[in-house]
Structure 1
Amino acid sequence: MEDIWQSAMDHAVAVARKAGQVVRDAAGGVHEAAVMVKSSPIDLVTQTDQKVEKLIIRALKDKFPTHCFIGEESVAAGEVCVLTDGPTWIIDPIDGTTNFVHTFPFVAVCIGFAVDKQVEFGVVYSCLRDEMYTARRGKGAFCDGRPLHVSRQQDIRQAVIATEFGSNRDPQALDKIFSSLKRVVSIPVHGVRSAGSAAINMCLVASGCVEAYYEIGIHVWDVAASSLIVSEAGGVLMDVEGGPLDLMSRRVLAANSRSVAERLVKEIDAFSVRRDDDAS
């Protein structure tokens, strides 16, 4: 099956580039009336998100009509979010929609592909910066063809940590988010950064720019593609409480090493959110 999946990955890269061009063309021209909200007033979606997802799914279904699909906007429209053992495409048409609306330059088209619930390849196209991140299981991670490797820094006091505040404005969740932030900053670490895109934060881990990234409240489409990019660049993935990463749990910790990850786990004030595959 290896050649089949390589062909699928090559097609995904081409589709991501085409989708990214649509995003670039629309950036800077997003009118206020075209910006809608989903779960909260700061959980944004635009007509471009919806247009790009349709473009991606159509292009993939034409070539792989029997495969399954999980798309952010499709789920928002009422489709179930179920990851089966079958070949499944996991798509985020615009990771960093708020960035896109404000032309903040970290915006990504994400296409992950899983078989037997395991990501086989991932494509993250940072389209406003024209950077293509790719990974194939067992074949390494790359940016524009250049091999990626995580940072070798093992002292968390000399680390830069990435995180996000998400779209949840529940006071109890915010208390835990800021409690974690205070504890991480107080280690102390060199700094904390937020790119505004889960996928790009994880690609920054893979690139060695930051030592770790954690967040509670992301979705499977935010991290499926980028999770493989991190692991293929030599990084580690786990739950924010230290267990194995569960793509549907909406919690992720990506780091350059297990020692940095386990040190961060001690400082994260974890909480649970509704799972992506919870249809109740």
Structure 2
Amino acid sequence: MTELWQNAMDHAVALARKAGSLVRDAVQNDMKVMLKSSSVDLVTKTDQKVEQLIIDSVKEKFPTHSFIGEESVAAGEPCVLTDNPTWIVDPVDGTTNFVHGYPFVAVSIGFAVNKKLEFGVVYSCIEDKMYTARTGQGAFCNGQPLHVSDQKEITQSIIATEFGSNRDTEVVDKIFSSMRKILCLPIHGIRGVGTAATNMCLVASGCVEAYYEIGMHCWDIAAGAVIVTEAGGVLMDVDGGPLDLMSRRVVAANNKMIAERIVKEIDAFTPLRDDAPIETKD
């Protein structure tokens, strides 16, 4: 099976590069923007076109594999991770960035077998940075090895996070409360580039010590999760327990010490799970 999964990863890299080319071309043109769950939850024809490109290619080359994609789920497809080889895809991570021409947009492709992540590919299209990792084989950016920061002091750290698309006032208050408490530890600063996948790659690259968020989705972090761990980092839930890919909560950090210190300051809440029954989401 090792060779088969390597073939799948090679195909994912080629698909990410092809998808990234479509994204770069679309940035130069007018785009039709549509809404999903709210006025700040955006989708474009490019999101849908890129996801369909990936689905069609995967079905042709690996017809028995399963697929979880952001736009497919938005259209009503179930979001269920089984033991079957499964591609977990965000065709355009950072759609709001994309719409506004903010230069951080990524194609994110994770791959799981028996519910365990096997590889991750994140292509930061505008930067032309290809992040790749396979379980047990290290993490790379454009072929160069990645390693997390060796910083052990939270007060000497930069932490990444995002506001997400939920504008419920109670949720926003919790997000700001967490940021305030973490910022005042104190730390060097809080950053965020508007894409979960890229934030996780920045942890893997050693540029930031940690990234945390509540409200993102499995397709936002599946690929990045492999890249972080293969670069020497750690993953956990915002309550300090093991990462649950479907929970929509994540802490990714360079080491356990930094991760656990952040967890102490997070005002946690529990969004609807990605794998909740469809009728629950209506």
**3-state SS, counterpart of residue 214 of structure 1:** strand
Q: Which residue of 2 aligns with 1:121?
A: 119
**3-state SS, counterpart of residue 188 of structure 1:** coil
CA distance in 2: counterparts of 1:253 and 1:193, whole angstroms: 14
1:167 Cα offset (Å): 0.2
**3-state SS, counterpart of residue 222 of structure 2:** helix
Q: Which residue of 2 aligns with 1:161?
A: 159
Is the CA contact (8 Å cut-off) linking 1:30 and 1:101 kept in structure 2? no
**3-state SS, counterpart of residue 189 of structure 1:** coil
CA distance in 1: counterparts of 2:116 and 2:223, whole angstroms: 11
1:29 Cα offset (Å): 2.0
Q: Does 1:277 align with 2:281?
A: no
**3-state SS, counterpart of residue 92 of structure 1:** strand
Is the CA contact (8 Å cut-off) linking 1:94 and 1:109 kept in structure 2? yes
Is the CA contact (8 Å cut-off) linking 1:237 and 1:244 kept in structure 2? yes
Describe how 1:20-169 pairs up with structure 2 within 5 A.
20-31=20-31, 34-169=32-167
Q: Which residue of 1 aligns with 2:14?
A: 14
Q: Which residue of 2 aligns with 1:5?
A: 5
1:40 Cα offset (Å): 1.2
1:28 Cα offset (Å): 3.5
**3-state SS, counterpart of residue 247 of structure 1:** coil
Is the CA contact (8 Å cut-off) linking 1:184 and 1:264 kept in structure 2? yes
Is the CA contact (8 Å cut-off) linking 1:28 and 1:101 kept in structure 2? no
Instruction: Give the alignment's Cα RMSD to 1 decimal.
Output: 0.6
1:35 Cα offset (Å): 0.5
Q: Does 1:242 align with 2:240?
A: yes
Deviations 1:215-252 (A, max 9, x none): 00000000001100000000000001100000000000
CA distance in 2: counterparts of 1:243 and 1:130, whole angstroms: 35
CA distance in 1: counterparts of 2:15 and 2:175, whole angstroms: 36
1:261 Cα offset (Å): 0.3
Instruction: Give ranges in structure 1 of 5+ residues lacking alignment.
Output: none
**3-state SS, counterpart of residue 114 of structure 1:** strand
Q: Which amino acid aligns with 2:169?
A: P
Describe how 1:214-229 pairs up with structure 2 within 5 A.
214-229=212-227
Q: Which amino acid aligns with 1:75?
A: V
Q: Which amino acid aligns with 1:116?
A: N
Q: Which amino acid aligns with 1:235?
A: G
Deviations 1:103-123 (A, max 9, x none): 111100011110011110000
Is the CA contact (8 Å cut-off) linking 1:16 and 1:110 kept in structure 2? yes
1:30 Cα offset (Å): 3.4
Is the CA contact (8 Å cut-off) linking 1:28 and 1:102 kept in structure 2? no
TM-score normalised over the length of structure 1? 0.98
Instruction: Give ranges in structure 2 of 5+ residues lacking alignment.
Output: none
Q: Does 1:172 align with 2:157?
A: no
4+ residue runs over 6 A deviation: none
1:267 Cα offset (Å): 0.4
Alpha carbons of structure 1 residues 63 and 243: separation in structure 2 relative to 1, 3 Å: same
**How many equivalent pairs are there?**
278
